[in-house]
Every structure is written in C-alpha cells, then in structure tokens.
Structure 1
Amino acid sequence: MIHLGVIGTNWISHQFVAAALETKKYDLTAVYSRKLESAQEFGSKYGDVEYAIDLETFFGIEHMDTVYIASPNSLHFEQAKQAILAKKNVIVEKPAFSNPAEMDEIIQLANQQKVFFFEAARNIHETSFKKIGDLMPLKNRIIGANFSYMKYSSRYDQVLDGQEPNIFSPHFSGGALMDLGVYLIYATIAWFGMPKESHYFAKKVATGVDGLGTAILRYDEFDVTLQAGKIGDSFLDSEIYFENGTLVLDGINAISKAEFHDRNRKETDIISLTVEENPMVEEALDFAEVILNPTDKDWGLKYEEWIELARNVNKVVTTLRKSAGIVFTADK
C-alpha cells in the first residue's frame, strides 16, 4: 500500500486522490496547506488523515512515502526537492517544472535518493492514448497533424480587472502553453519523437504570459501545428494526416472517440476505445506499479521512458515559450 500525502487542496487534488483510492493501491495519509482549515476541509472526506501547515512537519511524517504536488507551477521545484531529500517519491502535477535546469536537478536527485519522480501528464497513461499510438503507421506515411486544446479560464476575468492570478503569472510560471499546451506537446513527442525545430507564436496577456498561441513543431517530412489557449474556447477536433486518409480525435488531453477516414476505400473506421470515468485512474495505477515493484525490469523500462519523455517535453516547452519572448521568474 502506498501512503500518500497531498500538497494542494484544489479540485485536481481531489480528482487524483479519488483516482488513487479507486486503484486500491493507495491510502491518503496526510494533507498540507498553509491554512489548517483548508487542509481539514480537504481531508475530511477521506477518513483518518494527518494535517500540516508547514512543510518541515509535513515531510517529517515517516509513514508517508509518496507526495502528490499540485501547488502553483513555480513552487513545484522546491517542494519536490524537499520531498525527495526526505526520501519521499514525488508525483508532480504537470507542468512539473519551469525549465530544464530544474527538471535535470530533480531527476538526478531522485536517482541519488533512490526514490521515484513522476510528472502527472495523465493523457499518455490512458488506454485510449496508447491504442492510438499502437495504431500509428510508420512516420514516413504521416504528412502532418493539427492538435487543439483551448478552454476559457474564468481566472482571465481577473486579468481583465488588472489582477495577476497564478495561472496567468510569470512569477508562478503560468500561461496557456504551461497548462493546456503540455498535453499537446506530450502527445506530439510520444507519438512522433523530438522535433527538429520548434516555433511559438503567442498572444500575450497583460501579465506577460501567453493567453493563447500557435506552435509549429517541424519534423523531417511533416509539421505538427498546436493550438493552445486559456482566453478563448475551441471546438475543433484534433487530426493526424496520412497519405491515405485522416485520423480524427475528439481530444488530445482525453481521447474518447477516434475515426479513420480512409481516402482509398472511401470508408470511415470507428476505433473502439475504453475510457475511465475518472481520467486520472490509469496514471495513478501506472505510478503505483512502479513504486510497488521497484525491481521489476519491465516497469523499470517504462519508468525510464516516462522520465525521458518528461525531460524532452520540458525542453520543447521551454524552447517554445522563449521563442515567443516569455520569461519566468524561475529562469533568472
């Protein structure tokens, strides 16, 4: 059994805890918040839970072996570092870190301390995502792709009122690319590998980060266009173009419907997909298998693949935002 601690008391933490408990491989051991009332309100739904309002006390809970971190982006690095030094495994909500320097340090430190680090990019762990990857033909048959994920954030109303909420703040490593865009880049690199060139054309908001933008990832034989945004809504499907047809996906962050339109046969194939009610169950289960089976070679190989993918996604995200002149406090 994995004894889980949680940093962050928002909706996504509730969703992850519910997913973890559903796997029957975790229990919720502790909750950290700067306000005791917030921690108690969060943990009251889960039975006997310990609470902490300072991180030293929280990481000192000996029977807690794994920490899920869902605080503002720029806080992930120091919190993950402190957790690892306390010999805890860390599951860090995407985007895990602000830049490659932070990513590299955490990976190296986790290896030294013999604990695991996971970036919680849930889409790559979903059965539907893996099935699409398995169906992917050779790259030389792909002629292009267009992935879209845009969803209006109510926090943008605060920006319009002259405020700087965390998700739109360069001090907290915010912006569209560092949120919804991460799903798109994970899918692109997982399916197609590292691009040769990466360019980002961003519409910045008053705080200096991107509200929406278009990225172009260039490969030897094709380009992938990504559209991410938090100041508007998109209802577009995502598509992968092949020599003989088009694969249409109803999303990239969570794929529940997929159709292949075959140009030669003039037919449409419906691809059968399995989707969990809680979209975080499959990542929670994958993480548990690695933690509970530390000497298993197959899970060890998968873990190394996730680490390399996380590292590459972080590199591409950083290249993209810097190409658009987006600078975070964490970069300085």
Structure 2
Amino acid sequence: MIRFAIIGTNFITERLLDASKHVAQFKLTTVYSRHQHTATEFAAKHQAEYTYTNFNALCQSPHFDAVYIASPTSFHAPQAIALMNAGKHVLVEKPAASNAIEFQAMATTAAENNVTLMEAMMPTMTPAFTKIKEFLPQIGPIRQFISQYCQYSSRYDKFKQGERPNAFNPEFSNGALMDIGIYPLASAVHLLGVPDDIVAKGTLLETGVDGCGQLLLQYQHCQASIIYSKVNDGSHLTEILGENGRIEVDFIAQPRAIRFAHRNEEMVQLDVGTLKPTMSYELTHFIALILKRHNESTINTWQRSETTLRLIDQSRKQLGVHYPADV
C-alpha cells in the first residue's frame, strides 16, 4: 500500500480519486490546501486522515509516501522539488512544469534523492494507446499525423465577462496549448519521436495567453498537424496516415475507440479490452515504479516530458506567450 497526499482540490483531483478505486495499492491519507476549511471538507469527503495548510509542514509529514500534484502549473516545479528533497515520490499533473528548464531541475532532484518522478500524461498509459503502437507498423511508412482537440472552456464565459480565471492567466503558466494542446503534441512525441522543426500559429487573448492555435511538426519523412482550442468546440478525431493504411483515434486525450484499415479496405474496430477510468492506468503504473524502486517511467520518460515542454517553449516563443516562470 502506497500512502498518498494530494495538492489541489479540483475536478482533476476528483477524477484521480475516482480512478483510484480501481487501484488496490492506493491509499489517500493527506490533503493539502491553502485554506483549512477546504482541506477539511475535501479530506472528510474522501476519508483522508490528515490535512495541511503549511507547505513546509507538508514536506516533513510522516503520513504519506507519494504525492499527486494538481496545483496550477506555475507551482509544479517548486512544489515537486521541495517534496522530492524531503524524500517523497511525485506524480505531477501535465504539463509537468512551466518550461523545459524547470523540468530538467525536477528530474535532477528525483535522481539525487532516489525517488520516483512521473508526469501524469494519462493517454499514453491506456490499453488503447498501446493498441495504436501495436498497429503502427501495419500502416507502413507514416506520412501524416493529424490531430484536433478543440473544447470550449467552462471558464471562458467568465473570462469574457471580465474575470481572470486561472485557466487564462499567464501567472499560472496557462493557456490552450499548455492545457489541452499538450495532449496531441505529447502523443506525437511518443509515437513519432522528436521533430526536426516546429511552426506555431495562434490567437492570443487579452491576458497574453493563447486561446487557440495550430502546430506543424516537421519530421524527415512525415508531418504532424495539430489544432487545439479552448475558445470553441470541434472534433476530437486523430488520424495517423501511412502509405499502407490508417489508424483513427476517437479522442487522443482519453483514447477508448481505435479503428484501423489497410489501404483500400474498410475500417475495423480494434479490441482494446475492458476499459477502466483513464487515470487508473497512470496511477497503477506510478505505484509499480515506486514498489520496484524505479526513478523513471519507461513510458512517460523524463526525456519525453522534457522534449514536449521544449517544443511548447519553442511554440510559445513563436506565438508571443511569456510566463513569469520563464525568467
């Protein structure tokens, strides 16, 4: 049994805790929040015994072994580094840090303290993603990766009314690419590797973060085209096109339905087995790493997380999106 603390009492944490019901070796013991009433209410709801509002006290707590960090992105690196220096294992929500330099410091800290660090990039752990990788050789040389993730943000109406929710605030290292564009980008890195070049175009909002955009990744023999948005709805379809066939993915952020066809043949649905909540797979994998005393995942490797962030850094520079954490 691995005892967990959580940082962040938001909807993504609720989803993780729902997924944890499918993970026998997970036990929530500790909740951290800046406000005691929030920590107390959340802990009572999820049967956690301990609460903290002082971060330094949290780091020194004997009541947990690992922590799930789901705070705003700008807090990921400093919180993770402090906790790893205290000997805690860290599962950090995507994006793992504000930029690649921060993540490099996180990986160095994990190695120095011999603790486990993993970015919670959930789709790459799923049976559906494994099925994609299994069938890639059958479509022949890959020529195009086309992925779209456009979802009208639940916070965008407040933004248009003059409020400044965290989701559109550069102080928290946010924006559409960091929040949802990262899913197809990270998937391209997992499946195709490191591109030779990346070109980014997008639309900035009044706060200076991107509301929507497009990425073009150039590889030696193929291209990846990514469309993302938090200011309009759209298709979630991903297509991987090869000379000998193609693969369709229903939703690259949470893949559950995969279709495949050889060239000039009808699409067929691939069997991905019995599906559990998407986040249960990453949680199971992370706990296995801890129990095996592995610092790094072989799937969500430190190199892949750093590469994805480096590509985002390059894209943000082209878009003109700057965060205080970049200084």
TM-score by length of 2: 0.95
Deviation at 1:20, TM superposition (A): 2.7
Contact 1:128 1:275 in 2 (8 A): no
| Correspondence for 2:56 | 56
Counterpart-to-counterpart distance in 1, 2:16 and 2:256: 19
Counterpart-to-counterpart distance in 1, 2:274 and 2:170: 35
Deviation at 1:47, TM superposition (A): 2.2
Contact 1:139 1:192 in 2 (8 A): no
Measured at CA, do residues 171 and 286 of structure 1 come closer, stay the same or move farther in structure 2, by a change above 3 Å?
A: same
CA distances 1:149-179 after superposition (whole Å, capped 9, x unpaired): 1111121112212222111111110101001
**Percentage of pairs with the same residue:** 32
Structure 1 vs Structure 2 CA RMSD: 1.7
Contact 2:74 2:173 in 1 (8 A): yes
| Correspondence for 2:193 | 193
Deviation at 1:231, TM superposition (A): 0.6
Deviation at 1:139, TM superposition (A): 8.8
Contact 1:140 1:221 in 2 (8 A): no
| Correspondence for 1:271 | 270
Q: Which amino acid aligns with 1:290?
A: L
| Correspondence for 1:176 | 176
CA distances 1:212-255 after superposition (whole Å, capped 9, x unpaired): 10000000111110011111111252111111333211110111
Q: Which amino acid aligns with 2:292?
A: N
Counterpart-to-counterpart distance in 1, 2:217 and 2:273: 29
CA distances 1:161-202 after superposition (whole Å, capped 9, x unpaired): 222211111111010100111111111010000000011101
Counterpart-to-counterpart distance in 2, 1:2 and 1:304: 21
CA distances 1:51-89 after superposition (whole Å, capped 9, x unpaired): 011111212211311111101110111111111111111
| Correspondence for 1:213 | 213
Q: Which amino acid aligns with 2:100?
A: P
| Correspondence for 2:309 | 314
Contact 1:93 1:121 in 2 (8 A): yes
| Correspondence for 1:325 | 320
Counterpart-to-counterpart distance in 2, 1:304 and 1:236: 23
Counterpart-to-counterpart distance in 1, 2:167 and 2:274: 28
Counterpart-to-counterpart distance in 2, 1:158 and 1:39: 25
Measured at CA, do residues 20 and 143 of structure 1 come closer, stay the same or move farther in structure 2, by a change above 3 Å?
A: same
Contact 1:290 1:303 in 2 (8 A): no
| Correspondence for 2:131 | 131
Q: Secondary structure at the match of 1:330?
A: helix
Counterpart-to-counterpart distance in 1, 2:59 and 2:241: 48
Measured at CA, do residues 301 and 30 of structure 1 come closer, stay the same or move farther in structure 2, by a change above 3 Å?
A: closer
Deviation at 1:48, TM superposition (A): 4.5
Counterpart-to-counterpart distance in 2, 1:205 and 1:161: 13
| Correspondence for 1:73 | 73
Contact 2:88 2:115 in 1 (8 A): yes
Uncovered stretches (5+) of structure 2, i.e. residues with no partner: none
| Correspondence for 1:242 | 242
Deviation at 1:301, TM superposition (A): 7.3
Q: Which amino acid aligns with 1:273?
A: V
TM-score by length of 1: 0.94
Q: What is the number of residues matched between the two proteins? A: 327
Uncovered stretches (5+) of structure 1, i.e. residues with no partner: none
Residues 15-94 of structure 1: pairs in structure 2 closer than 5 A: 15-94=15-94
Contact 1:212 1:230 in 2 (8 A): yes
Counterpart-to-counterpart distance in 2, 1:288 and 1:18: 16
Q: Secondary structure at the match of 1:78?
A: helix
255-264 or 185-194, which moves further after superposition?
A: 255-264
